[in-house]
Amino acid sequence: MKKKLSLPVKILIALVAGIIVGLICYFFVGAEVGGAFTTNYLKPFGDIFLNLLKFLVVPVVLLSMIDGIVSMGDMKKVGSVGVKTLLYFLATSAIACVIGLIVANIFNNANLFPVLSQDGSTFEGGEFQGFMSTLVNIFPSNMWKAFSEANMLQVIVIAVFFGGSILAAGQKGQLAKDIVSSFYAVIEKLMGFIIGLSPIGVFTYMAWVVATQGPNIVGNLAIVILCAYIGYVVHSVVIYSLSAQFLAGMSPLAFFKGAFPAMTFAFSTSSSAATLPVSKECTDAMGADPDISSFVLPLGATVNMNGTAIYQCVATVFLASCAGVHLTLGQMVLVVVTATLSAIGTAGTPGAGLIMLTMVLTSLNIPVDYVGLILAVDRLFDMGRTCLNVTGDIACAVFVSRWENRKTAKR
What is the pLDDT averaged over residues 245-259? 91
Distance CA 107, CA 109 (A): 6
Top pLDDT among 86 and 338 is at 86
Instruction: Classify 319 as helix, strand or coil.
Output: helix
Q: Does the pLDDT value for residue 345 go beyond 50?
A: no
Q: Which of 65-74, 297-306, 361-370 has the highest mean pLDDT?
A: 297-306
344 φψ region: left (φ > 0), alpha (ψ -120 to 50), beta (else): beta
Top pLDDT among 403 and 152 is at 403
The pLDDT value given to residue 138: 77
Report the CATH number of the 7-410 domain. Answer: 1.10.3860.10
Distance CA 36, CA 32 (A): 6
pTM: 0.72
Distance CA 150, CA 61 (A): 10
Residues 6+ apart with CB under 8 A from 304: 89, 92, 93, 389, 392, 393, 396
Hey, what's the torsion of the CAs at 373, 275, 289, 7, to 10 degrees?
-120
Residues 6+ apart with CB under 8 A from 136: none
**Nearest CA among 278, 286, 220 for reference residue 256:** 286
Query: Residue 307, Cβ neighbours under 10 Å: how many?
Result: 30
The pLDDT value given to residue 94: 83
Confidence of residue 231 (pLDDT cuts 50, 70, 90): very high
Domain ranges of the chain: 7-410
Q: Tell me: the pLDDT tens digits for 312-323?
A: 889 888 888 888
